[in-house]
Structure 1
Amino acid sequence: MSISNSVNTNAGAMVALQNLNKTNSELQEVQTRINTGMKVAGAKDNGGIFAIAQRMRSEVSGYSAVQQSLDRGMATTDVALAAGEAISDLLIEMKEKALAAGDASLDTASRSALNEDYKALRDQIGTIVSNAEFNGVNLIDGSQTDGFIALANADGSNSITVGTENLSLSGTIVTITSTSSFSTATTAAAAASAIGTSLDNVNNALARLGTKSKALEIHDSFVTKLSDALETGIGNLVDADLAKESARLQSLQVKQQLGIQALGIANSAPQSVLSFFQ
């Protein structure tokens, strides 16, 4: 194939320029990856991978909300458990006072002193119930008809419900009334029996709350692991291998210098036409 000697068209320079432009484009791409640490920073880099990564990012964001909901649920349940355990301890003390007062040989003054202690413990139950609140939610005063509903998945279609337990006085669990007291051995024995029933009910309620608290804790651990796995998956899709990109950068820099030299050689070729006219 013959090569035309022309000052109007320099095919060699065109080819050299095309190659240099391609090298510069690749060099810019590598520099962007090194600057951002990502091989797919936007849809222009790889539309399919970017769409998958964005969907996974959406799931990670959703699981962040799930974890916050589960954390609130665990805190609310833990407050209810702490209050319930305190109430259980108070009932044990109240039963002790009532049983002591049920001794027929006890004098009136001693029984009256025991009754005052009993009433103080009784009133403390009401105080604990009214203050067992976290973030505006109280699971043991009967105010939350639906309990606490925690998110369980990223799209909100599943949930974990912690049921409410009404530990207020005169309720179905704590059957003793807010005016419960005793003045005789007979009424003290009746109070002790009622407290025994209430204590069993409270312990059953604590078992239910404890089971739900454990379920929230297990699911929170699972969601944390799932979110971490998704984060790792996103990284595998979009993160750049910086060691590889560094090596490629050096290669392209050398290639760029060679391209510049090749373009210079190609641009000097038309000067040879002048020798034809000497």
Structure 2
Amino acid sequence: MSSILTNNGAMVALQTLNSINKNMATTQNEISTGMSIASAKDNSAIWAISTVMRSDVAGFEAISESLALGSSTVAVARNAAEQVTELLNQVKGKVVSAQEENVDREKIQTDISALRDQIVSITGAAQFNGLNLLSGTANVSVLSSLDRSTDGTVSQSSITVARQDLTTATGAFGATSVGSAGDLITGDGNVGSALAGNAAANAVVTITDGGVTDGASYRMTLQGAASADIGTTAQTFEYVAVEGDTAADVVTNLAGQISTFLTEQGSSEVTVASDTSAGTVTVSLAGGAAAGDTVTVGIAEALDGTRDGGLLALGAMDVTSDAGAAQALTDIEALIQTAVDAAAQFGSVQGRIEIQSDFIGQLSDSLKSGIGALVDANMEEASARLQALQVQQQLGIQSLSIANQAPQNILSLFR
């Protein structure tokens, strides 16, 4: 049945042509933008994934800049530490020469002082963008990665750069009072009271682990009385913590200082023991000591202290006397080792930063490739599809034209 009111053929041809035109518009958009998924309406799931990945790429590009800055900063410190090591080796040569008695030690001391001044100049100038890793104690963190978990949360990772103090500055016990007594260091009932002879007695000092912060200052004192074999002069043992220290570090250092002193004194009455797991230093007076022999253990605590510079002994080095020359020979080896350790530490961290930087670059490239695989258009396929659609469009137009001519054929029935 033919109808002049309803042209089914034209409607089908029109629907087909509209579909072809729509596909052609999509294909032309892919070719013009180079993307198969340019917005959320194209494919919301893939668009969301690619957008998050683009965000990560932007973050990694910023991290690359952070790593480059960190690498440059550490490189400056490493080069300076290596230069200091070379100069200290020259100082060692001067110190060795000063061991002879028939040399002009005054001139040698002048040379040592000049080298020392040069070392001070290098450590003071070894800064990058205002950050000097050869002075101070606070560690520095370099942002190294952004880690996305399966639930979508993001956490950051950092590479810690430990400062290596190569200054000749003299440290100082803190001058700021703690918030409450015992925040840093506490003692049992025997601390502050005389440990009497004739009976074994212990004074237990405990380091509060949570209070170990940069600048936290710890002090223990030993005071003998009567014929106690440590003498009657008060002896002071101090430790200033730096960032990263724990109670175990404080315990080890204080106990080590006391042990060295007791060994030098040849003490048989007083002993010291440490327990790093418990954070305690125990000073004991052996049973059997004379009744009048007593030892008093004292403690003190403060904040905002500063530690001696790593090259403190260099500032006081004086080879103009026999004793000074002998002491300098002992000190210089430790100073060289300090500088070598600093340079090695910086070299290790710089290597790690460079490895991480290479990894971040490769990771960014991989993410960009992944994004491209998700949203980039296949240009060869799009080109072939466009040509096919153009042919289909022409045929669709012809079909619609034929369908629109169908009602005209009805006129022939009335001739």
TM-score, normalised by the number of residues in structure 2: 0.62
Tell me what 2:120 maps to. 126
Residue from 141, 146, 149 that aligns with 1:148: 141
Tell me what 1:23 maps to. 20
Asked if 1 retains the 8 angstrom alpha-carbon contact of 2:143 and 2:156, the reply is: no
Tell me what 1:212 maps to. 349
Tell me how far 1:146 sits from its aligned partner.
Answer: 2.5
Asked if 1 retains the 8 angstrom alpha-carbon contact of 2:50 and 2:374, the reply is: yes
5+ residue gaps in structure 1? none
The answer to whether the aligner puts 1:48 opposite 2:45 as a matched pair is yes
Tell me what 2:67 maps to. 70
Tell me what 2:260 maps to. none
Letter in 2 for 1:141: S
Distance change >3 Å, CA 18–CA 252, structure 1 → 2: same
Tell me what 1:234 maps to. 371
TM-score, normalised by the number of residues in structure 1: 0.91
Tell me what 2:312 maps to. 175
Residue from 252, 256, 266 that aligns with 2:393: 256
Task: Between the two structures, name the one with larger relative contact order (CA 8 Å, sep ≥ 6).
Answer: 1
Letter in 1 for 2:59: G
Residue from 108, 111, 114 that aligns with 1:117: 111
- Report which stretch shifted further, 207-216 or 184-193: 184-193
Q: Deviations over 1:7-34 (max 9, x none)?
A: 2221111111111111011011111111
Tell me what 1:138 maps to. 132
Letter in 2 for 1:69: S
Asked if 1 retains the 8 angstrom alpha-carbon contact of 2:79 and 2:343, the reply is: no
Residue from 85, 89, 113 that aligns with 1:88: 85
Question: What is the distance in 2 between the residues matched to 1:172 and 1:135?
Answer: 22
5+ residue gaps in structure 2? 148-153, 170-307
The answer to whether the aligner puts 1:163 opposite 2:156 as a matched pair is no
Tell me what 2:273 maps to. none
Q: Deviations over 1:89-108 (max 9, x none)?
A: 111111111221222111x3
Question: What is the distance in 1 between the residues matched to 2:353 and 2:155?
Answer: 15
Question: What is the distance in 2 between the residues matched to 1:186 and 1:178?
Answer: 16
Tell me how far 1:151 sits from its aligned partner.
Answer: 3.1
Please identify which structure carries the higher strand content.
2
Asked if 2 retains the 8 angstrom alpha-carbon contact of 1:148 and 1:164, the reply is: no
Tell me how far 1:152 sits from its aligned partner.
Answer: 2.5
Runs of 4+ off more than 6 Å: none
Question: What is the distance in 2 between the residues matched to 1:162 and 1:8?
Answer: 85
Question: What is the distance in 1 between the residues matched to 2:145 and 2:392?
Answer: 54
Tell me how far 1:179 sits from its aligned partner.
Answer: 5.3
Asked if 2 retains the 8 angstrom alpha-carbon contact of 1:152 and 1:158, the reply is: yes
Letter in 1 for 2:352: A
Question: What is the distance in 2 between the residues matched to 1:228 and 1:219?
Answer: 14
Q: Deviations over 1:49-93 (max 9, x none)?
A: 111111111111221222222222111111110010011011111
Q: Deviations over 1:196-227 (max 9, x none)?
A: 21111111222222222222122222222222
Question: What is the distance in 1 between the residues matched to 2:399 and 2:145?
Answer: 63
What RMSD in Å do the two structures reach over aligned CA positions?
1.7
Aligned residues: 271
Tell me how far 1:182 sits from its aligned partner.
Answer: 3.2
Question: What is the distance in 2 between the residues matched to 1:214 and 1:58?
Answer: 28
Question: What is the distance in 2 between the residues matched to 1:179 and 1:35?
Answer: 75
Partner of 1:176, secondary structure, is helix
Partner of 2:142, secondary structure, is strand
Asked if 1 retains the 8 angstrom alpha-carbon contact of 2:81 and 2:339, the reply is: yes
Tell me how far 1:37 sits from its aligned partner.
Answer: 1.0
Q: Deviations over 1:160-179 (max 9, x none)?
A: 11111111114452132435
Question: What is the distance in 2 between the residues matched to 1:269 and 1:20?
Answer: 18
Asked if 2 retains the 8 angstrom alpha-carbon contact of 1:125 and 1:169, the reply is: no
Q: Deviations over 1:128-164 (max 9, x none)?
A: 111111122111111x613233333254432111111
The answer to whether the aligner puts 1:104 opposite 2:101 as a matched pair is yes
Question: What is the distance in 2 between the residues matched to 1:105 and 1:135?
Answer: 49
- Report which stretch shifted further, 219-228 or 41-50: 219-228
Question: What is the distance in 1 between the residues matched to 2:318 and 2:3?
Answer: 118
Letter in 1 for 2:135: D
